Amino acid sequence: MRYFTEDHEWIEVDGQIGTVGITDYAQGQLGDIVFVDVPADGRSLGKGDEAAVVESVKAASDVYSPVSGTVLEGNTALADQPDLVNSDAEGEGWFFRLTLSDEAELESLMDEAAYEAFVAKL
């Protein structure tokens, strides 16, 4: 199942593991991405904590953790290929994976239909 935040992060949940990235809408707003800083393995994150940084030719933006958990891995491919976020934001351009510490936090996130309706109003 995939969930979305109002800050344009997505999280795809498989059991207790969540994979997090930014949405295609977000990467489109940022433009050409030139640098991504992902969180360190083992870092503990609370819901809404700054987890990563993405820099484009236009701006630098924080990426927030949609849920609480412990980082399992950052996407090391982004160090050499930050443009993966532009070409495949909701696939190979993921930012980090974490172990969820409170599945109930997912209930406050949007599903895909709700996110699409949210973006349509922007």
Q: Radius of gyration over alpha carbons of the chain, in Å?
A: 13
pLDDT of residue 44: 98
Residue 100's domain is classified under what CATH number? 2.40.50.100
What confidence tens digit (pLDDT) does each residue in 33-88 have?
999 999 999 999 999 999 999 999 999 999 999 999 999 999 999 999 999 999 99
Beta-bridged to residue 110, according to DSSP, are 4
Cα distance from N-terminal residue to C-terminal residue, the chain:
24
How far, in Å, CA of 15 to CA of 2, rounded?
A: 12
Burial (CB < 10 A; 0-12, 13-18, 19+), residue 50, is exposed
Predicted confidence band of residue 22 (pLDDT cuts 50, 70, 90): very high
**pLDDT at residue number 34:** 98
pLDDT tens-digit readout, 76-97: 999 999 999 999 999 999 999 9
For residue 40, what are the CA distances in angstroms to 3, 63, 112, 117?
A: 23, 14, 28, 33
Q: Which domain holds residue 71?
A: 2-120
Question: CA–CA separation, 92 vs 104, rounded Å?
Answer: 27
Count: domains in the chain: 1
- Give mean pLDDT, residues 21-27: 98
Determine the average pLDDT of the residues in 115-121: 98
